[in-house]
Structure 1
Amino acid sequence: MRLPRLSVDPLAALFAALALVLLIVFLVMLGSTQPRSNGTELPYTTVQRKAAAGEVRNAVQLDYDHRLLITDRAGAEAWTSFPATGGLQDQLLTQLDRKGASVVIDAQSGKQAKRLIVQVLLPILILASLFALFMRVSQQADAGGMGAFSRWAGRRSKLGPGSTGGPSFADVAGAPAAVAELQELCDLLRFPERYSALGARPPKGALLVGPPGTGKTLLARATAGEAHAAFFSVSGAEFVESLVGVGAARIRDLFAKARAAAPAIVFIDELDAVGRKRGAGVGQGNDEREQTLNQLLVEMDGFDAGRGLIVLAATNRPDILDPALLRPGRFDRQVTVDAPDADGRAQILSLYLKGRPCEADVTPAEIARRCPGFTGAELENVVNEAALLSARAGQAAIGVDDLDEAIQRVVGGPRNDTHVLGPDELETIAVHEAAHAVVAAAHGDGAQLHQLSIVSRGRRLGRATTLMLDRDRTVLRRSDLERQLAVTMAGAAAERIAFGEVSTAVNDDLHTATQLARSMVTSFGMSSLGPVTIGEHSAEVFLGASLQELGGVGPGTLERIDAETREIVEEAETRAAKTLSANWPVVQAIADDLVAHETLADVQLAGHLAAVRAAPNGSGPDHGGPADR
């Protein structure tokens, strides 16, 4: 077998050999500088007694070590330390000489120099050799030498034609507005003369804003792929170090490399890690994060976007970014990447299901209706979970049941078969879930109930799954929110009707209803307090920017907010109770079926809900859907 050739740097080998030789010399000389210890240690009085009795045959006086080595008539060796006073030492030596012992005096003239070499010079030389060795090795690994820690060492890839695995806009779905905005950036990088002829100034940067999992990083990579540009990917946390100046140095090095590789896209993920508002803390001094942000601002001012360099960044917290980052000339535009609507979810599911064996009845549009509000990452997880379930069951293709179970697993977790509920608990949960379904149906939902279940998943004891019948809505009137509150409080109202008291199953319902009612009072102006926002601030408390503002709401106003919130929630429960009283036989029938079968879906559930009478005092679309426990 032929061994691979090893590349050895001669200078590094020299430093390593020098350090090894010095270490050997150090160990050898270290032994010669240690005090000689012949035999056992004896007290000085014992040596005096042996000398007086004539038992000592010879003695060696070690001046530097301040010791006396003796050998008795039997040949046994021992040693003792000299006394502090020279008179006792001379007396002992005189007595040894009188008794016929051979006394030798060793001045140890060279030992002091040896100790100086061993304790001072050799350690310095060894450390210097090792330092030179490590420095040489670091120079071989990175041209920056010992300053390599301040250089950017992130990921760089060339996307576009000839690249492997690079995404394009064809791999992105559910965000047509974001793709349209970023397509212009691609054209600016590929055909800059088209814009420069009209005097258009290319944007220097674009900020991708959206909740986690909506595909901001994928969009950035797809933009680089479409633009045929080098892609520099870095996380904002990589610039934040405890060493002063490291973050700013890495920013400079990153932009220098990006300019050299133009056309290029610099993508900074989680920009809020380095771009927080400056001076927002309490008692801050010279913060390293602020220096890094200052360098980023300077670098974005110092390059010409017409030369083929654009900065993309992503964050889900634009409210805490420094205003200097968001001004024109730095991040000229903000691209919102929100959760996809029903059509977008169907397109994303089509992408993830492409190339996977699926049964004939699997329709992406139908599956998309069953998971409202899901992001792209959650939809990818749904498809992956469905594939795992199919493989676990030994199936040849992914079925609708697998996708349904995958949605339930993503929302509530896997089925908790170890949590066995008693008959009373099952009845309580069944009545609770049946009440949500009946009140939702009585108020004329814009969403159709697809499934009702009392299967325990994680911390959830039951869930109602809906199918969106029309487009996703983002603007809701007060009547819509009131109906949503009535559906949310239906479980608590049913428990009071059926059992005369509520259970702990209403915990999540109360939390959801209280948050919604408080938002109606403080954010939406839907209360007697008037059309104002109260105590709503975009700045975070930990930033220290709004500590005084948070205390600007008086105690009387806070009491009125609590009273209004409580009144709205109580009215919602009252409306739900009236609806349930008018449809109690249907609630009981659904609850009985749930106890018997655990899950009701589609035809079974629709048969029960067909008998539900409309809610009193009006009806209308309610897109909130039943609450989950």
Structure 2
Amino acid sequence: MTTPAPPRDTPEKPWRSEGAPPPPPQQPKPPRISWIRLVLFAVVVYLLADLLLSLFGNANSISVTYTEFSKQLNAGQVAEIYAKGDTIQGKLKSAQPKPDNGKGSYTDFTTQRPVFAEDNLWATLEAKGVVVDAEPVVKERSFLANLLISLAPMLLLVVLWLVIARRLGSGGMGGLGGLAKKGPPRPVTQGPGERRTTFADVAGIDEVKAELTEVVDFLKHPETYRRMGAKMPRGVLLAGPPGTGKTLLARAVAGEAGVPFFSASASEFVEMIVGVGASRVRELFTEARKVAPAIIFIDEIDTIGRARGGNAMGGHDEREQTLNQILTEMDGFSGSEGVVVIAATNRAEVLDPALLRPGRFDRTVTVSPPDREGRRAILAIHTREVPLAPDVDLEQVARITPGMTGADLANLANEAALLAVKRGLTQVGAREFSDALEKVQLGAKRSLVMPEEERRRTAYHESGHALLGMLHPGADPVRKITIVPRGRALGVTLSTPDADRYSYTEEYLRSRIIGALGGMAAEQVVYGMVTTGAESDLEQVTSIARGMAGRWGMSERVGRLTAIPNDTQGAYGLSSAPATLDAVDGEARRIVAECYAEACRQLTDHRPQLDALADALMDHETLDEEAAYRVAGMPRGGRG
């Protein structure tokens, strides 16, 4: 069981550290009242209130035409007016009296007097008894309100800038300097109930642990090495697929040596401001030297350690400056500080050569997926706190999980435990591990109701895969057949080898292609036509066939050369001539055509067994390994 990751440090420091001495306790500062802020707040509240009153104080005012105003004036409905230029404001009498005091209510209005109007307005007002006032009926906005409205956009921008500056830690109008703000780090120490990760928590990669044991011994006993004039590697690069335990190994080295462990992700050093990542790298190495001996762990170093100059459009200045700072800091090691840099990546081939030269990361350790014995040991670690039923055989689980990494096996054990909880069990049994493996490899079951004819076609499709796997010599044994929809598939045939394979013969690869084409061949043999259900099968077939012709030298026409790159060498076809690529495609088509013809021939010759498997799937939906071979009437291992 691994130690939980410690909480993150301050946002300015992307690394985390363990085992360093805790900082002295800081007394909380008493709250400080800012009178300037209070005054500014009061002024803003007053201006806003004044603005709201001026804007909404005349909400009941209406705008009328001058013709309507003349009619209301002649009818005696105008009670009071105020004129300023050609603008007339006033109050109209309402026909409905107020229920509270019996007096008539008034409605504010505004109108514009045309410049060409020649009516004797003053005489009419006197005759109708209209009060002509010197105060405007509708209160106009004050000078402060007008000023606030004019300055509102600018004030909004200032407030927005202050919020951004505060978020970035600048503390005011100090520009973007807050992005690179630094201060004394606050190392995260382990609590009394926590335990360090050690090599006892790592299994399945004993050869890697043996190489890292030297690093542990150097950190524990540096004087022994200094007396002999020996220097430990300044950097150790852990390269391997995702989930193989690279981060766990780095933590185990620090745990075994009992030294502080500074952990950082390379992507956290890259910011939008050039120079920030380099500054953080300098501070990280400085703090590690202060508490040496220590370990600095940089995860996913390929994020900032890619080869420079490979992009014709130019590089990323911030990434390259951060990489240059790492190179400079590692050059500054004398070999006696007791600081070891461990980095992890699954793309070692894209790293800059300057990063891998002797004196920097001068030791590369390949972390590969575990073998069967390693998988059993990993399962034993991840089930230490899982109550296992007597029928659970971890050796058997390890045998049927080839290619799985430590992370995959940890997920498998967890899924089995979750299934046991869901089923109300007190122990995790073999059935839970089997169902968990199906869920991990094949996907979760789907509640899909298929028509009877489509279920039978799916049964023949999966039976074709399974039967060809049983018939062809050297093919992987069939573990389970099901027509229960899982993930995106309507049915699944699971085949896994008895032992781990590290190299593949041409015969084995052809058996893989024939087995993958078994579903489509079964549909062709039984129904005379094929459906779209073989999409994923054809993707697998195409990948294998093109690899045989263009990467592994299994085609006489193409020759013994690599014509297409692998997944980590860039886009397809960058290093080969068009004629060579045409030859690769032609050979791939030939290999697939020959395998498809062989699949159809074998299924036609063994049609009764194909029908028997399909009928059994229609009745039971799922057949395990023993039942599948029994229905097909074949011994375990087929003809081989």
1:422 Cα deviation after fit: 2.2
The correspondence for 1:554, drawn from 577, 587, 599, is: 577
* Equivalence map 1:166-315=2 (5 Å): 166-284=196-314, 287-315=317-345
Matched, 1:610 2:618: no
Distance in 1 between the 2:484 and 2:107 partners? 87
The CA deviation string for residues 4-53 of structure 1, in whole angstroms up to 9 with x for no partner, is x9854426x3453343244356558979999x99x999999999xxxxxx
1:304 Cα deviation after fit: 4.1
Aligned to 2:512: 484
Secondary structure of the corresponding residue to residue 396 of structure 1: coil
Distance 1:405-1:436 versus aligned 2 partners, 3 A rule: farther
Matched, 1:507 2:535: yes
Distance 1:116-1:459 versus aligned 2 partners, 3 A rule: closer
The CA deviation string for residues 370-410 of structure 1, in whole angstroms up to 9 with x for no partner, is 22111112211211111121122222211111111110000
* Contact 1:62-1:68 within 8 A present in 2 as well: yes
* Contact 2:170-2:177 within 8 A present in 1 as well: no
Distance in 2 between the 1:70 and 1:492 partners? 89
1:532 Cα deviation after fit: 0.8
- Aligned Cα root-mean-square deviation (Å): 5.0
Distance 1:62-1:33 versus aligned 2 partners, 3 A rule: farther
1:255 Cα deviation after fit: 2.5
Distance in 1 between the 2:243 and 2:162 partners? 48
The correspondence for 2:374, drawn from 341, 344, 353, is: 344
Matched, 1:10 2:32: yes
The CA deviation string for residues 170-210 of structure 1, in whole angstroms up to 9 with x for no partner, is 11111212222222222222222222222222222222222
The CA deviation string for residues 341-384 of structure 1, in whole angstroms up to 9 with x for no partner, is 11111111111122221111211111111221111122112111
Provide structure 2 residue ranges, at least 5 long, that are not aligned to the other structure.
1-26, 70-79, 93-105, 116-120, 126-130, 136-140
* Contact 1:434-1:587 within 8 A present in 2 as well: no
Matched, 1:564 2:555: no
The correspondence for 2:461, drawn from 426, 429, 435, is: 429
* Contact 2:470-2:637 within 8 A present in 1 as well: no
* Contact 2:171-2:178 within 8 A present in 1 as well: no
Matched, 1:370 2:400: yes
TM-score (norm 2): 0.75
The correspondence for 1:520, drawn from 548, 559, 565, is: 548
Matched, 1:599 2:619: no
* Contact 1:172-1:218 within 8 A present in 2 as well: yes
* Contact 2:460-2:610 within 8 A present in 1 as well: no
Aligned to 1:535: 564
Provide structure 1 residue ranges, at least 5 long, that are not aligned to the other structure.
48-57, 86-91, 106-110, 620-629
Aligned to 2:41: 20
Distance in 1 between the 2:538 and 2:164 partners? 63
Matched, 1:459 2:482: no
Letter in 1 for 2:585: D
1:163 Cα deviation after fit: 7.0
Letter in 2 for 1:233: S
Distance 1:120-1:344 versus aligned 2 partners, 3 A rule: same
Give the stretch that moved more between structures: 204-213 or 603-612: 603-612
Distance in 1 between the 2:528 and 2:154 partners? 85
The CA deviation string for residues 242-278 of structure 1, in whole angstroms up to 9 with x for no partner, is 2333322322232233333333222222222222332
1:537 Cα deviation after fit: 6.3
* Contact 2:448-2:485 within 8 A present in 1 as well: no
Letter in 2 for 1:361: D
The CA deviation string for residues 428-461 of structure 1, in whole angstroms up to 9 with x for no partner, is 2343233233224xx045x543333333211233
1:234 Cα deviation after fit: 2.1
Aligned to 1:574: 597
Distance 1:372-1:103 versus aligned 2 partners, 3 A rule: closer
Aligned to 2:20: none
Secondary structure of the corresponding residue to residue 307 of structure 1: coil
Distance 1:491-1:425 versus aligned 2 partners, 3 A rule: closer
Letter in 1 for 2:282: R
Distance in 1 between the 2:157 and 2:513 partners? 73
Letter in 1 for 2:536: D
Higher helix share: 1
Distance 1:218-1:416 versus aligned 2 partners, 3 A rule: same
Distance 1:155-1:602 versus aligned 2 partners, 3 A rule: farther
Aligned to 1:88: none
The correspondence for 2:360, drawn from 318, 322, 330, is: 330
Distance in 1 between the 2:620 and 2:302 partners? 49
Distance in 2 between the 1:136 and 1:593 partners? 69
Distance in 1 between the 2:84 and 2:332 partners? 75
Distance in 2 between the 1:40 and 1:293 partners? 70
* Contact 2:480-2:495 within 8 A present in 1 as well: yes
1:151 Cα deviation after fit: 5.0
Letter in 2 for 1:489: L
1:221 Cα deviation after fit: 1.8
* Contact 2:170-2:179 within 8 A present in 1 as well: no
Give the stretch that moved more between structures: 487-496 or 264-273: 487-496
The correspondence for 2:498, drawn from 448, 458, 469, is: 469
Distance 1:609-1:573 versus aligned 2 partners, 3 A rule: farther
Matched, 1:318 2:342: no
Distance in 2 between the 1:597 and 1:46 partners? 89
* Equivalence map 1:383-462=2 (5 Å): 383-423=413-453, 424-440=456-472, 443-445=473-475, 447-462=476-491
Letter in 1 for 2:634: A
The CA deviation string for residues 125-173 of structure 1, in whole angstroms up to 9 with x for no partner, is 999999999989998999x9974533589995446x9671432111111
